[in-house]
Amino acid sequence: MSRYGGYGTKGKRPEDLRGGVIEIEDPDDRVQSPTTFRPDKLRRDLIQDLRSRKGRESDRANQAFYDALLRAVQQKDLGVPPFPTTALKLDELIRKDKEATGRLTTLVDKDPALVKAVWAAARKVADDKQPKTLEQAIKLLGLDRLWKISFRITTESPVFRVRGHEEKSDEIRTHGILVARIAGWMGDHGRGVHYISGLLHDVGQLVILHAAGKTRGVRRPEVELVNNLIDQHHTALGLLIGRVWRLPKSVSMGLGFHHHPGAAPSDYRGLCKILQAADLAAHAASERRRRATPVAETALRNVRGLPLPHKDILERAMRLDQVIRGEHRAA
For the chain (331 residues), the mean pLDDT of every run of 10, in chain order, is 34 33 42 84 94 94 94 91 84 77 88 91 82 90 88 82 84 92 85 90 93 79 92 95 92 94 93 96 94 92 92 96 80 58
DSSP state letters, 124-143: HH--SS---SHHHHHHHH-H
Helix (H) / strand (E) element for 244: namely helix 223-244
Radius of gyration of the chain (CA): 20
Distance CA 192, CA 194 (A): 6
Tell me, what's the pLDDT at 154?
84
Q: How far is CA 61 from the centre of its chain?
A: 28
DSSP state letters, 191-234: SSHHHHHHHHTTTHHHHHHHHHTT-TTSPPPPHHHHHHHHHHHH
- Is residue 90 packed enough to be buried (19+ CB in 10 Å), middle (13-18) or exposed (0-12)? buried
Q: Where are the alpha helices (DSSP H) in 34-133?
A: 39-55, 60-74, 85-96, 101-109, 112-125
DSSP label at residue 157: S
Distance CA 239, CA 70 (A): 17
Distance CA 16, CA 122 (A): 53
Tell me, what's the pLDDT at 10?
33
Residue pLDDT, tens place only, 242-263: 999 989 999 999 999 999 999 9
Contact 121, 145 (CB under 8 A): yes
Arch. (CATH architecture) of 14-81+169-330: Orthogonal Bundle (1.10)
Q: Can you give the residue ranges of every domain in the chain? A: 14-81+169-330, 85-150
Tell me, what's the pLDDT at 226?
92
Tell me, what's the pLDDT at 25?
38
Tell me, what's the pLDDT at 20?
38
Other residues' Cβ atoms within 10 Å of the Cβ of residue 331:
6
